[in-house]
Amino acid sequence: MKNLPIDDFDIKSFQDDLISWFEREQRKLPWREDRDPYKIWVSEIMLQQTRVDTVIPYFRRFMEKFPTIEALADASEDEVLKAWEGLGYYSRVRNLHAAVKEVEEHYGGTVPDTPEEVSKLKGVGPYTAGAILSIAYGLPEPAVDGNVMRVLARILSIWEDIAKPSARKVFEEVVRKLISRENPSFFNQALMELGALVCTPKSPSCLLCPVREHCRAFREGTIDELPVKSKGKKQKQIRLQAAVLEDEDGRILIHKRPDKGLLANMWEFVQVEESTVLPARQVLKDYLGDVFKIEAALETEHFTEIRHVFTHLIWDIRVYHGKILNQVQETNELKCVPPDEIETFAFPVPHQKIWKAFREQAKSEKVKDIKG
């Protein structure tokens, strides 16, 4: 690694200012109530790519439902996925579930405390490994997330592009030089807390910053230029046709997605990608017939249109209402369920939006009936 200019940097004083600020100002968070490595682990997985405010209610519910490693290891995948519904990046919870079973079986239910072992767990990468080892076990391991890169890029004036995968290693080496041996847990948490509360991406509160005197970007007036972060590319757009289908008993047809890829193992209303050549409704009818042997009478017009933006793609879904005319052959992936049971299945947000729109339009039809 390039020799970073930290020779004239007062490490001890920086650690003290940072950690004492954290002791004064840290937020009370449910996963900070004790040092249970299981709780730290679950919280860190939830916090990947996800804001604290979003995570808090999920964490509480998750801990109530699965208070221990054993409880989670014994749960079914559907149950676990349901607890994660709406949080996104669902492979996180499938990996967590698998890893917890691994800990239960091979480590006697105790989260391992070495970098080698903890890094082998599914879903535990360099950041999460460092977070568990430092926060739960007090080991001086770096835990470099986006906050840490932003904070350190500013403090030490590091002009590395933090969007590049190679950047993380640079910052890990920096943390190894800076980390407090007395309190690695608070040191790492303080860097992240500072990034979340003070050293924010836009208009950071430098005047409130406990380590302003150590900050090169502040001194040099480059706060708004750091960190350097290149932009990603734009999303691919996908047009989909979906249908809320009722059988003769008013039950709703739902489909379980494949166990790999986007939204793996989540439930959805049947949907198919729009064709560029065939008329819109025909694609859906053909799909239902060819794949599920379902004959359906679809209404001519879609009742709602849903747009959902993912990181790497955009779904535009036209949603039709229809009745199933023949007998549905139910399988593990295909079910008809009563409307009041729909919400017991784990649906991705775009299909939660479909269900919401469906109920709204059903309601408005009723109002029309009464008026008419």
Q: Annotate 284-303 with three-state secondary structure.
A: HHHHHHHHHCCCEEECCCCC
- Computed from CA positions of residues 286, 289, 294, 297, in that sequence, does the dihedral angle turn out positive or negative? positive
CB of 370 to DNA, least distance (A): 31
Residue 246 pairs in a beta bridge with 252, 323
**Which 3 state secondary structure label does DSSP give 208?**
helix
CB of 48 to DNA, least distance (A): 4
Residue 109 is a binding residue for DNA (CB under 7 A)? no
Of the residues 14, 31, 38, 90, which one makes contact with DNA according to CB under 7 A: 90
| Count of residues interacting with DNA (CB under 7 A) | 49
Q: Which two tokens stand for residue 73?
A: 């290891």
Q: Which of residues 311-370 bind DNA (CB under 7 A)?
A: 311-312, 348-350
Tell me, yes or no, if 44 is annotated catalytic.
yes
Residue 346: closest CA among 88, 143, 172? 88
- Cβ contact 132:185 at 8 Å: no
Of 19-27, 262-270, 288-296, 362-370, which part binds DNA (CB under 7 A)? 262-270
Residue 132: closest CA among 203, 42, 192? 42
Of the residues 95, 222, 275, 361, which one makes contact with DNA according to CB under 7 A: 95
Buried b (16+ CB within 10 A) or exposed e, 109-144: eebbeeeeebbebebbebbbbbbbbbbbbbbbbbbb
Residue 202 is a binding residue for DNA (CB under 7 A)? yes
Of the residues 1, 7, 76, 166, which one makes contact with DNA according to CB under 7 A: 166
Of the residues 30, 109, 115, 126, which one makes contact with DNA according to CB under 7 A: 126
Residue 112 is a binding residue for DNA (CB under 7 A)? no
CB of 192 to DNA, least distance (A): 7
Of 23-31, 62-70, 117-125, 204-212, which part binds DNA (CB under 7 A)? 117-125
Of 15-23, 134-142, 195-203, 332-340, which part binds DNA (CB under 7 A)? 195-203
> What is the Cα–Cα distance from 36 to 264, expressed in whole angstroms?
30
Residue 204 is a binding residue for DNA (CB under 7 A)? no
Q: Residues 276-315 vs DNA: string with x where CB under 7 A?
A: -------------------------------xxxxxx---
Residue 124 is a binding residue for DNA (CB under 7 A)? yes
Residue 193 is a binding residue for DNA (CB under 7 A)? no
Phi/psi at 272 (5° precision):
-145, 150
Residue 61 is a binding residue for DNA (CB under 7 A)? no
The single residue of 23, 25, 33, 44 carrying the catalytic annotation is 44
> What is the Cα–Cα distance from 355 to 281, expressed in whole angstroms?
20
Residue 68 is a binding residue for DNA (CB under 7 A)? no
Q: What is the CA radius of gyration of the chain?
A: 25
CB of 250 to DNA, least distance (A): 27
Q: Which two tokens stand for residue 197?
A: 């509360």
CB of 173 to DNA, least distance (A): 15
- Measured from the CB atom, the residue of 248 and 273 that comes closer to DNA is 273
Buried b (16+ CB within 10 A) or exposed e, 50-64: eebeebbebbeebbe
- The overall longest dimension of the chain from CA atoms, in Å, is 82
Residue 2 is a binding residue for DNA (CB under 7 A)? no
- Measured from the CB atom, the residue of 90 and 269 that comes closer to DNA is 90
CB of 41 to DNA, least distance (A): 11
Q: Annotate 226-270 with three-state secondary structure.
A: CCECCCCCCCEEEEEEEEEEECCCCCEEEEECCCCCCCCCCEECE
Residue 226 is a binding residue for DNA (CB under 7 A)? no
First to last CA, the chain: 77
- Measured from the CB atom, the residue of 136 and 288 that comes closer to DNA is 136
Q: Which residues bind DNA (CB under 7 A)?
A: 47-51, 53-54, 86-91, 95, 122-129, 145-147, 150, 164-166, 195, 201-202, 229, 231-233, 261-264, 307-312, 348-350
Catalytic positions, written as ranges: 44
